[in-house]
Amino acid sequence: MTSAQQRWLVRISDVSFTYPNGVQALSGVSLELAEGEVVSVIGPSGCGKSTLVSVLSGLRESTGSVVWNRDVLRELDGSGRRPFSVVFQRNTVMPWLNVEKNIAFGLRYLKLSRQDIRQRVNSLLETGGLVDFRRAYPHELSGGMERRVALLTGVATLPKLLILDEPFSALDEPTRVSLHRELLVLLREYGMSALLITHDLGEAVSLSNRVCVFSNRPARLSSVVDIKLPPDRDVEKIRATDEYQDGYRELWESLWQQINARV
């Protein structure tokens, strides 16, 4: 929920991007994220959502601008921490490292003592309920556990923004909902914002304060739906509420309109 006390974190202004082969994926996208917010992006398949992730994470250069709050960057200065980390649908977890080494991997770039690293990994393993699996390799884990490791790896370096690109798409519904609960706990515990790309409308409503609906390619921001559920919501119980149903309905109508809009 945005409030006057929340600082803006990143401003995406009028971002357009065209791939070298001439495919335009983004057209004039503007979006601002504040500290503590969860914002989702939904849109037709192939519209440009993952392209936005690569622009935001600096992998692709776009026109327009992506500006991080200088005060926030100053706070990270000298710590080696980056303002964001990205969790993808797959290939986030390294198969040749066990769970604790996966979680610790990004920490080697931070200015932390061995003891600090050990403590951080232990506390993440505890939050994620993976203490007993610390020495397990990814192929020994269930799909849900592997995703939990991916989340913990993203959180471990304490970014200000966790960017999640369809992180739970391959999971069954009950596993997905338990990961939703854990994600909200992690975000709260470590004081992070999240930008979630998803094609799952229920997931967008369950987790977000705001949902941005993208048009067909090239993606434009076609509408923004405010989700009127509190930040400390219970993701298992909210589905029966009017606020959830209203958000879902509004999103569905916006998305369906975009899917049917021929360009």
Which 112-171 residues touch ligand ADP, going by CB under 6 A? Answer: none
Cβ proximity to ligand ADP: between 53 and 151 the closer is: 53
Whole-angstrom Cα distance, residue 92 to residue 51? 17
* Shortest distance (Å) from residue 49 CB to ligand ADP: 3
223 neighbors 210 (Cβ within 8 angstroms): no
Burial 156-195 (b: 16+ CB within 10 A, else e): bbbbbbbbbbbbbeebeeebbbbbbebbbebbeebebbbb
In the bound state with ligand ADP, the residue whose beta carbon lies nearer, of 55 and 177, is 55
d(CA 175, CA 215): 30
| Binding residue count for ligand ADP, defined by CB under 6 A | 13
224, β-bridge pairs: 212
Q: Does residue number 23 form part of the binding site for ligand ADP (CB under 6 A)?
A: yes
Q: Give me the residue whose beta carbon is nearest to Mg ion.
A: 50
Shortest spacing between CB 166 and ligand ADP, in angstroms? 8
Selected range binding ligand ADP among 15-23, 110-118, 168-176, 183-191, rule: CB under 6 A: 15-23
Per DSSP, the residues of 15-77 read: EEEE-TTS-EEEEEEEEEEETT-EEEEE-STTSSHHHHHHHHTTSS--EEEEEE-HHHHHHHT
Least distance (Å) from ligand ADP to the CB of residue 45? 5
In the complex, the residues that contact Mg ion under the rule CB under 5 A are 49-50
- Taking the complex as a whole, the smallest distance from the CB of residue 215 to ligand ADP amounts, in Å, to 11
The Cα–Cα gap between 233 and 58 comes to: 32
Specify the amino acid at residue 62: S
Task: Pick one of 3, 4, 5, 45: the residue that binds ligand ADP (CB under 6 A).
Answer: 45
From the CA atom positions of the chain, what is the Rg in Å?
18
Compute the least distance from the CB of residue 74 to ligand ADP, in Å: 32
Positions in 174-233 near ligand ADP (CB under 6 A): 217
Residues engaged in binding ligand ADP (CB under 6 A): 19, 21, 23, 25, 43, 45-51, 217
